[in-house]
Amino acid sequence: MNEKDSDILSKVENYYQDYGLRARELKDQGQKVIAYLCSLVPVEIISAAGFLPFRIRGDVHEPITKGDTQLETIACPFMRSCFDVSLKRRYDFCEGLVLPHACDSITRTYSVWRYSLDLPYSHFINLPHTVRGPSMDFFKAELETFRKSLGRFAGKEISDGDLAESIDLHNENRNKARALYELRKSDPPLVSGTEIATILTVGMRLPVKEANNLFDEVLEKLKQRKEAPFKKAPRILIDGACVDNIDFFKLIEDSGANVVADSLCIGTRDYWPKTEVGGNPVDTLAHRYLDKINCPRTYREKVGETYQEDLESRFGDVGSLIKEFNVDGVILYLYKYCDPFGFEVPARKAYLDSLKMPVLYLEDEYSTGTIGRLRTRIQAFLEMIGS
């Protein structure tokens, strides 16, 4: 954070460093906390039940030790780190766990999570893989099952009214996040990628109303910045999956670039799509989580006559971001063993090539040590763009 922007921004920084801080305080006041992983868990339902949805985060600074005694190392290192720190009781204020059918690394470890953490509540949400009519009907039924199951744990029925209210609050949160992104459009941007990543990460573990207030305060503070505190530099978009730490953003920005946009899970993939209001809330939630969130784990049927049209339909959202944020280059950043994303690297690259976008593809583990080793390649890439 910039030194001048004290108070609210240092509060954010504080929350980021001590990730469970607020949840722990709230738990002491009687608030029940439900942990979850991934952008595919409908947090609206958790909030509507009166729980605090708490997105589990890994820790790139913490070597994975305990987790490896219970889980094979051939899984996505982000998930392994989340599991490791959970096992080390970092999030022991949580009373429940919800995992979605996201990728093999998450799905195939549900039992291990469930038994190892031994929480009073756990649930798995089974998202289908396609967005056709029958899949949508199936998913609605599956969300109803979740609603009932969580309701039983909460000791109350989660009504349509509760859901509608929760949907509004979470939509509001997404609007505010989007407003934050607006500050990145100027050149140089008014807010750095590292700052945005910090704020968004923090937002995902606060009660939604609190997160909304926090975002408001942050927005107000940042809008006071008359002059960009950063230099003009290549404008980078990070494309990838579950990046929940600022270290990678920092590395890029320290190497002489501005991260101005992303298509990441703690970023536009999750914050851009909103739930439709009005209508049956479960239907609109199903639509948001299955169709609107553009994650490679959800299969999109090929559209159009040419392969290029198919690429447009699958990755067009990244193309729009590139235009909207005036991006100079893309860093495609993935974790080893990430199956859903790993299978589409060539396709993503082909799409970006068709836009004549310089792309750097990096495969990484999930630790500060390995992140640091990427520096030279990033610098070379930035030089290439700059020249």
| Residues 219 to 248 in contact with ligand SF4, rule: CB under 6 A | 241-242
CB of 339 to ligand SF4, least distance (A): 6
What gap in Å lies between CA 208 and CA 169, rounded to an integer? 7
Cβ nearer to other proteins, comparing 4 with 343: 343
Q: How many residues bind other proteins (CB under 8 A)?
A: 60
**Where do runs of H (alpha helix) occur along the chain?**
8-17, 21-28, 43-48, 77-87, 104-107, 110-117, 133-154, 160-182, 193-203, 208-223, 247-254, 268-271, 281-286, 307-324, 339-342, 345-354, 368-372, 375-386
Pick one of other proteins, ligand SF4, none as the site partner of residue 78 (Cβ within 5 to 8 A by kind): ligand SF4
Does 312 interact with other proteins (rule: CB under 8 A)? no
Pick one of other proteins, ligand SF4, none as the site partner of residue 24 (Cβ within 5 to 8 A by kind): none
Cβ nearer to other proteins, comparing 195 with 239: 239
Contact with ligand SF4 (CB under 6 A) among 39, 47, 105, 122: 105
> What does each C-alpha distance from 194 to 241, 249, 254 come to in angstroms?
16, 5, 10
Cβ nearer to ligand SF4, comparing 272 with 335: 335
What gap in Å lies between CA 273 and CA 317, rounded to an integer? 11
Report the C-alpha dihedral over residues 357, 362, 363, 367, rounded to 10 degrees: -130
Using CB under 8 A as the criterion, what x/- string covers residues 50-79 for binding other proteins?
-------------------xxxx-xx----
CB of 226 to ligand SF4, least distance (A): 38
- Cβ neighbours, 10 Å, residue 1: 16
CA-based radius of gyration for the chain: 20
Pick one of ligand SF4, other proteins, none as the site partner of residue 115 (Cβ within 5 to 8 A by kind): other proteins
Contact with other proteins (CB under 8 A) among 2, 220, 343, 383: 343
- List residues near ligand SF4 by CB under 6 A: 76, 78-79, 102-103, 105-106, 241-242, 335, 338, 340-341
